[in-house]
Amino acid sequence: MNATQEKLKVQLEQALVAAFGTDFAGVDPILVSASNPKFGDYQANVALSLSKKLGKQPRAIAGAIVEKLDVSEICEPPEIAGPGFINLKLKTAYLEAQLNAIQADPRLGVPAAKTPKREIVDFSSPNIAKEMHVGHLRSTIIGDSIARILEFQGHDVLRLNHVGDWGTQFGMLIAYLREVYPDALTTANALDIGDLVSFYRKAKQRFDTDAGFQETARQEVVRLQAGAEDTLHAWKLLCEQSRQEFQVIYELLDVQIIERGESFYNPLLPKVVEDLDKSGLLVENQGAKCVFLEGFTNREGEPLPLIVQKSDGGYNYATTDLASLRYRIQQDQAKRIIYVTDAGQGNHFAQFFQVARKAGWIPDDVELVHVPFGLVLGEDGKKIKTRFGDSVRLRDLLDEAVSRAQADLKTRLQEEERQETEEFINEVARVVGISAVKYADLSQNRTSSYIFSYDKMLDFKGNTAPYMLYAYARIQGISRKGDINFKELGNNAVLLEHETELALAKYLLQLDEVISSVEQDLLPNRLCEYLYELSKKFNQFYDRNQGVQVLEAEEPQRTSRLILCDLTARTLKLGLSLLGIEVLERM
């Protein structure tokens, strides 16, 4: 609900009491956006819901409310329509005043959160020595955008990379490292083992075909857990190598994140099991320690246990998550913890959340949210692969987007007979390519799977990054053409006359509503839709036929329209920045 709606709501509540007495204090006036702009901007539907209680016709009730309603500063005289809707139409003078007010506001009228909270966004979280795949890319893009929105709202956000840097697979990797780089374990220098994914594959192959190697690998696991120096050294080398590879992706995407991998919580794991035992939740089942879950059953329909310690003493993914959850609540003081992973992990989160709740570890003021997302599919609707059938390397995927953007740009420059520097071309291609990938992901409702198509995401038409970037650059073009400094347009100069001006103005004033909805529901696609719709409204306003003239217009319209241009551009820039997307002044 935005500031205007809040004001209207208060007035409606007061009118209700004035008309029917204090019994009606606190009754929700049911204020919603108008179903049809013909009838105004908002409507209050409360009269219909009170008909029974008051024993009156809804239209009569609406009439009694309207008689006491004072919204003259904000709205035209309210009208009663249909069975008893109260229709409210915003006054032009009110809209003008609102726009004049946000013109000087870097937040464009979006109020910061009233009660800033400590929030954790757990995202990206690839696994060491394994491939960072498109699922991690989605998590990185969505998680980063959520974090940016929460930060903008003034929350104290901790961006955590829950890297998979521990587990029995390290036995095999270290044993193999010892074989192929015997020196690496004793030298202090970092080593370059090349492509870690193929290293992992080779190690796995050794492991699967050689019983002796398997035994060595197992011993390495024991040595690692016991903290043997050379084994730890090897483990660190592997982590460092992966970290460098991940960092390349984070830099390309301009993503900030703090690594706090699974290994960080190792010392806390025994206490998790101990405390579960103390609270009477722990059950021994075939040597494993587990907690039985409610609402989850195995294939035979029997209750499902969540194993927190295996019969060999090892801990699980879920145990680490339980430990990290406690740490985040106790040490980090988080009030909302957001986990961004593929929907396939839904059960995992539901299960350990349940166990933590049962154990009484989640205070009432702490919210746990799993933010699931669907798959990234190839153009054939199947799992995304390269032409050669291999899984796609993220680096290649991003590079390809940039080089396609560059090819498109060069064609366009030729068509337009424009000369641009190499530097300009590279920069535009980089921004367009990376934005296209991010926007294609964010503009989908994240819960659904989406098809990864370079052609679609790089298209200048439709709900794409290039379309949005172009709308922004086009507005900057107006300022260049008219030699206008947007920062120096007069104050209190907004004047709304034309239909397309009013439509654009109303839309500009909805940014706060959209941002607060994303802050709650964590669906960045709503912000994308808003920006797309805004660009369309702008294009209608600036359209030669159905819209208005801007640079050619007379004063005072000219300045007012330039302010609308500037506000649109600033809204686009701000909105895109919250999606992790940079704008271009020219493209």
Under the rule (CB under 6 A), what is the footprint of ligand ARG? Answer: 122, 125-127, 162, 164, 321, 339, 341
CB of 162 to ligand ARG, least distance (A): 4
CB of 561 to ligand ARG, least distance (A): 49
CB of 332 to ligand ARG, least distance (A): 13
Q: Which residue has the tokens 């800033």?
A: 116
> Which one-letter DSSP state was computed for residue 391?
B
In terms of CB distance, is 321 or 512 closer to ligand ARG?
Answer: 321
Residue 573: HSE in the Cβ half-sphere, 13 Å Cα cutoff: 17
In terms of CB distance, is 308 or 431 closer to ligand ARG?
Answer: 308
**What count of other Cβ atoms lies within 10 Å of the Cβ of residue 286?**
8
Beta pairing, strands 156-161 & 118-122:
parallel
In terms of CB distance, is 166 or 542 closer to ligand ARG?
Answer: 166
In terms of CB distance, is 142 or 436 closer to ligand ARG?
Answer: 142
Q: Looking at beta carbons, which pairs linking 33-41 to residues 24 or more positions away fall under 8 Å?
A: 34/87, 34/88, 39/79, 39/81, 39/85, 39/87, 39/89, 40/75, 40/76, 40/79, 40/87, 40/88, 40/89, 40/90, 41/88, 41/89, 41/90, 41/506
CB of 299 to ligand ARG, least distance (A): 23
In terms of CB distance, is 243 or 558 closer to ligand ARG?
Answer: 243
CB of 316 to ligand ARG, least distance (A): 11
Please, are residues 88 and 8 in contact by the beta-carbon 8 Å criterion? yes
Please, are residues 336 and 117 in contact by the beta-carbon 8 Å criterion? yes
In terms of CB distance, is 185 or 343 closer to ligand ARG?
Answer: 343
Which residues are CB-contacts of 146 (< 8 A; sequence separation ≥ 6)? 121, 123, 338, 340, 371, 518, 522, 524
Enter the tokens of residue 127. Answer: 């696994």
If you count them, how many residues does the chain have? 587
In terms of CB distance, is 181 or 317 closer to ligand ARG?
Answer: 317
- Amino acid residing at 96: E
Please, are residues 94 and 73 in contact by the beta-carbon 8 Å criterion? yes
In terms of CB distance, is 318 or 565 closer to ligand ARG?
Answer: 318
CB of 214 to ligand ARG, least distance (A): 25
Which residues are CB-contacts of 279 (< 8 A; sequence separation ≥ 6)? 358, 359, 360
Enter the tokens of residue 399. Answer: 């590079």
Best CA proximity match to 371, nearest among 340, 326, 325: 340
In terms of CB distance, is 246 or 450 closer to ligand ARG?
Answer: 246
Please, are residues 511 and 109 in contact by the beta-carbon 8 Å criterion? yes
Alpha-carbon distance of 357 to 350, in angstroms, equals: 11
Per-residue HEC secondary structure of 206-266 comes to: HHHHCHHHHHHHHHHHHHHHHCCHHHHHHHHHHHHHHHHHHHHHHHHHCCCCEECCHHHHH
CB of 317 to ligand ARG, least distance (A): 7
CB of 283 to ligand ARG, least distance (A): 23
Chain centroid to CA 531: how far? 15
In terms of CB distance, is 109 or 126 closer to ligand ARG?
Answer: 126
In terms of CB distance, is 238 or 504 closer to ligand ARG?
Answer: 238
Enter the tokens of residue 271. Answer: 């206490």
CB of 259 to ligand ARG, least distance (A): 12
CB of 320 to ligand ARG, least distance (A): 8
CB of 508 to ligand ARG, least distance (A): 38
Please, are residues 446 and 142 in contact by the beta-carbon 8 Å criterion? yes
CB of 132 to ligand ARG, least distance (A): 9
Q: Which residue has the tokens 């650059």?
A: 473
In terms of CB distance, is 170 or 530 closer to ligand ARG?
Answer: 170
- Nearest residue to ligand ARG, by Cβ distance, number only: 125
Best CA proximity match to 471, nearest among 559, 402, 564, 572: 572
